[in-house]
Amino acid sequence: MKWQVCKDYDSISQKAAELIRDTLIDNNIRSVIGFATGSTPIGTYRKLIEMYESKECDFSNMISVNLDEYIGISQDDAQSYYHFMHENLFDHINIQEENIHLPKPDGNTKDYNAVLDTVGRRNIQILGIGNNGHIAFNEPNEYLNARTSIIDLDESTIQANARFFEKEEDVPKQAISMGIGDILNADLIILLISGKKKQQATQRLYHEKKITTRFPASLLFAHPNVVVLVDEDAFGTIAND
Ligand code: PGA
């Protein structure tokens, strides 16, 4: 795991976008990029849109897969991750609609695993981390799923996501999420961490020496090519520990 501590959110967003841009240029026939939702990658998506507008980046041969989706809301719902990805990225670049893949809110795990198998290994997987160490919606547990599964969300995740909903009771309690085996099936994993709220999870990941399903991000230690782009707010005082 390579750590790159960047000055601020803008710098981590710029670095992540550049890594994606360079991969698209290197593999201009076909690239597979795994995208994430949540607040953290939004800056990266803005940078990618700017790169598209300035003709630095062409998305016409990019295939996208997303990590997860809420169960029980429609794709048209403003809170769905399908909507999020279109609003924050896909509607503003030249990706082809048939190359866009997200798990469906009907919770059909078999179909999504078939999509992942067809698309194959990703060139890059973008990830965020939850305060509780979750990656995608793989919540701390006695075991973690290898492949796409339906997950009961942790109370802490429901509370963290309530900021996007009018009322906390509107936050879906379940999600469909790629499993750990699926997440690791990428040549490069970019973990984005930003903001003071993530200090605890950042410290734990930085110091953790063991792989434990009670802290899902530690499963990333099993991957040979993970880059953590973290801003100074999230990194905090670790360097002085
Ligand atoms: P965030 O979510 O980017 O909104 O902080 C990350 C996550 O929960 O995985």
Cα 29 to ligand 1 centroid, rounded to whole Å: 31
Q: Look at residues 100, 97, 93 and name the one whose alpha carbon lies nearest to residue 66.
A: 100
Strands of the chain, DSSP E: 2-6, 31-35, 62-66, 68-70, 100-101, 122-127, 149-152, 174-177, 186-193, 226-231
Strands of 22-128, DSSP E: 31-35, 62-66, 68-70, 100-101, 122-127
What is the end-to-end Cα distance of the chain in Å, rounded?
19
Tell me: the pLDDT tens digits for 106-129? 999 999 999 999 999 999 999 999
pTM of the shown model? 0.96
Per-residue pLDDT of the chain (241 residues; tens, 9 = 90+): 999 999 999 999 999 999 999 999 998 789 999 999 999 999 999 999 999 999 999 999 999 999 999 999 999 999 999 999 999 999 999 999 999 999 999 999 999 999 999 999 999 999 999 999 999 999 999 999 999 999 999 999 999 989 989 988 899 999 999 999 999 999 999 999 999 999 999 999 999 989 999 999 999 999 999 999 999 999 998 865 5
Tell me: the pLDDT tens digits for 77-106? 999 999 999 999 999 999 999 999 999 999
Q: Ligand 1, closest atom to CA 197?
A: 5
Ligand 1 pocket test: which of 39, 40, 69, 220 has the largest number of ligand atoms within 8 Å of its C-beta? 40
Q: Ligand 1, closest atom to CA 192?
A: 3
pLDDT of residue 28: 79
- Cβ–Cβ under 8 Å, residues 62 and 25: no
Helix (H, G, I), strand (E, B) or coil at 122: strand
- Cβ–Cβ under 8 Å, residues 134 and 157: yes
- Ligand 1 pocket by Cβ (under 6 Å): 38-40, 128-130, 134
CA separation for the pair 161, 138 (Å, rounded): 15
> Quick one: CA dihedral 54, 227, 176, 113, positive or negative?
positive
